[in-house]
Chains A and B, each alone.
Chain A
Amino acid sequence: MHNIQAELNAVMTTFQLPQLHPDIPITPTISAHECDDSSLAANLLKARVIDPNDIPETAESPIDILRYGLQAWFNRRSEGLEILNFEMALLDHQSMQNLASTFNDSDRKFDEPYTLVIYGCSEDTYVLEARSTEMEIAFPGLFAVALGAIQKASSRTINIRTPHEVFAQFACWHWDGDENPSESDARELLLERFGETDEIENYMPKTITPIFGGSLCIHYFSNEEKRKLQTIAGLKKFVQQFPDDPEAKVALQTITLLRAIAKADKANAQLPDMHDIYADSIIRGCNLVFRPDVRVWQTIDSVIEDAYNAGDATEILGLQSLPKGVDELRRYFSKLDLAFTVVRHMDKLISMISTKYTS
């Protein structure tokens, strides 16, 4: 062995090894064989999802066609959004596998070549209390119905953080999950937790419930008057009764949003969601809070911290495999179009019933 080594060492200092055979790739690209960018681009053009007029002459590859064409499609549908922040991305098979490996215990398989993903980005916070007071004075129940419509729209499109969601988490941590405990039950639970201290008063229902919106944001389905308003007919009646009132614009926008939701529901249309993905979306389309308060911020911060600690935190708001065929793509994007209509009306309604929070 040592003789061979010595000989070879000597040889290597005097001889140059031969040139590589030209068939040996020097700079190979490793890519997923499942993806065929040209077929997808061609099918999206045939399905008239991508408009050839949106593709500049500088476009050189199928990826360029997909990038310019889909950017234009999404731009048209997200134009004018003031409140909701999110980004869309098309991930190829390998990129999706990399992403899926970050999810814990996911039941979803991503075997299709392409996946459409919604990412949350830099959520802003909007405060509801001031406008809710004005709306409730004008038309009792209108605020709760508008908020209910927004929640309905959000569950089908862009996930937002609502006062009720944060309140439910608060109740889980401090009141054993009971969202409507008696003062004595709450006191008993808080005593067990904090011991005998004045701090308890800061977490009693009579202090907390108004901060999270009380009957307007938390128990809004319990009020008979508000239930009547939940139908479009009920809202229209309100608009007819008080046509000159500025709150009528809110009522009209609520009607428009509810109609868009109904149309989307009928077509089974919604944006990609997190179904079967065990991950917590920590950045939402926006935060809606009833009253800016340290206990609200504490709860939101703890929810996010919990998600990070559990390894469940994700910036993704939804994801869905893209179909392949021309007809399937046409149907898929036509449903996305309906869902984006809901997004635009939801965005407008949020802007009408809230004010942006600035610290």
Chain B
Amino acid sequence: MHFDIKSGEQQTQLTKAILLYETRRDDYSSQTAYASLHDVMNTGTKANPNVQIMAGTPITQEALLALMGSLGERYILNTELLPESVLSFSPLHLVWWMPACKKRVFFDNKELGKRSAIVPHPALLFVVVGREWLIFAMKGNNRPTKNTPLFHAPYFNVYDNGNICAGTAEIPDRLSTSAIPTWENAFFESAFTHVNGEIRKVSHPKGEYAFWKEMLDNKYEKFPVKFLVDSNQTLHSVMRSLQNQIGRQ
């Protein structure tokens, strides 16, 4: 049996220095007027070190961003314009809604076989946070507000808590509002293969497979929202758990 000792120790190296230059306002106070960024290097040898602050450069916006980038998240500055569909966005999460529409879906399982059709969908809410990707359905077709009730998304490959089983779907590797179409395509262009979890995601009397057979046979012009199953969540409750989750990261 292997035994290991894991230490949280981190070996660090002094590599840069920031020098601040101040102007004197009066006898009691001063004001930073200039800052410069310098490399720190050993200009001597290993045996006889001569560590010096080297010639520097004025601190520019680029230099500050580079410094912050090495200390924190890559996406501190975001200059994207937010589309109407985005409900909430930070470097760590993205929440948006998709109005009711018709889109092609693909199925590949024993019960329904390999089938594809353009079918109506209810308005949907997508949440991406960390490695999690969730989906909910809504009965109305307006931009949701905090009290909008959320329903289980009526699809296969979706867990009881709304988590999407991504399988082999190609999903964007970073959070960005411009990637929303890629997320949506990744969901609808992947084949639905199996039901997930304990909760039935539609209340159709003959079950989920029978419901999707009717959908694929184009029985409904609009998505039959009467079959949606209440998730007992609202946009507000989802955002609150999102806040808790991000707070832990």
What is the interface of chain A, defined by CB distance below 8 A to chain B?
1, 4-5, 8-9, 12-13, 15-20, 24-32, 63, 66-67, 70-71, 74-75, 78, 81, 86-98, 101, 104, 117, 121, 172-173, 176-177, 191-197, 199, 302, 305-306, 309-311
Task: Decide if B3 touches A71 in the complex (CB within 8 Å).
Answer: yes
* CB 8 Å contact bits of B57-99 with A (1 = contact, 0 = none): 1100000000000000000000000000000000000000000
Is B239 on the interface with A (CB-CB < 8 A)?
Answer: no
Task: Decide if B207 touches A195 in the complex (CB within 8 Å).
Answer: yes
What's the Cα separation between A4 and B21 when bound, in Å? 10
What's the Cα separation between A309 and B207 when bound, in Å? 25
**How many residue pairs, one in A and one in B, have C-beta atoms under 8 Å apart?**
161
Which of B13, B55, B207 interacts with A26 by CB under 8 Å? B13
Q: A78-B1, A173-B197, A195-B111 are in contact. Are A31 and B206 (CB under 8 A)?
A: no
Task: Decide if A193 touches B200 in the complex (CB within 8 Å).
Answer: yes
Task: Decide if B34 touches A25 in the complex (CB within 8 Å).
Answer: no
* CB 8 Å contact bits of B147-176 with A (1 = contact, 0 = none): 000000000000101010100000000000
Task: Decide if A16 touches B1 in the complex (CB within 8 Å).
Answer: no
Q: How far is the CB of A72 from chain B (nearest CB, A)?
A: 9
What class of interface size applies to chain B in its complex with A?
A: 35 or more
Which chain A residues lie closer than 8 Å to B54 at the CB level? 16-17
Q: How far is the CB of B147 from chain A (nearest CB, A)?
A: 26
Task: Decide if B7 touches A92 in the complex (CB within 8 Å).
Answer: yes
Task: Decide if B7 touches A94 in the complex (CB within 8 Å).
Answer: yes
What's the Cα separation between A75 and B3 when bound, in Å? 8
Task: Decide if B33 touches A32 in the complex (CB within 8 Å).
Answer: no
Which of A32, A88, A104, A117 interacts with B8 by CB under 8 Å? A32
What's the Cα separation between A161 and B50 when bound, in Å? 60
Question: Which 6 A-B residue pairs are closest in the complex by CB-CB distance?
Answer: A94-B8, A78-B1, A95-B8, A195-B209, A195-B210, A17-B53
Task: Decide if B165 touches A309 in the complex (CB within 8 Å).
Answer: yes
Q: Which residue of B lies closest to A21 (CB)?
A: B51
Which chain A residues lie closer than 8 Å to B131 at the CB level? 311
Q: How far is the CB of A60 from chain B (nearest CB, A)?
A: 14
Provide a sorted-by-A list of 27 A–B residue pairs whose CB atoms are within 8 angstroms.
Answer: A4-B21, A12-B36, A12-B55, A12-B56, A13-B55, A17-B53, A17-B55, A17-B56, A19-B52, A24-B14, A26-B14, A26-B49, A27-B11, A28-B12, A30-B10, A71-B3, A86-B1, A92-B9, A95-B6, A95-B7, A172-B198, A173-B197, A176-B198, A195-B207, A196-B210, A302-B196, A306-B159
Q: A1-B33, A81-B1 are in contact. Are A17 and B38 (CB under 8 A)?
A: yes
What's the Cα separation between A29 and B132 when bound, in Å? 35
Q: How far is the CB of B243 from chain A (nearest CB, A)?
A: 14
Which chain A residues lie closer than 8 Å to B206 at the CB level? 195-196
Q: How far is the CB of B127 from chain A (nearest CB, A)?
A: 13
Which of B57, B110, B161, B198 interacts with A310 by CB under 8 Å? B161
Is B242 on the interface with A (CB-CB < 8 A)?
Answer: no
Task: Decide if A20 touches B8 in the complex (CB within 8 Å).
Answer: no
Q: Which residue of B lies closest to A306 (CB)?
A: B159
Task: Decide if B3 touches A199 in the complex (CB within 8 Å).
Answer: no
Which chain A residues lie closer than 8 Å to B161 at the CB level? 310
Is B130 on the interface with A (CB-CB < 8 A)?
Answer: yes
Task: Decide if A89 touches B8 in the complex (CB within 8 Å).
Answer: no
Q: How far is the CB of A143 from chain B (nearest CB, A)?
A: 28
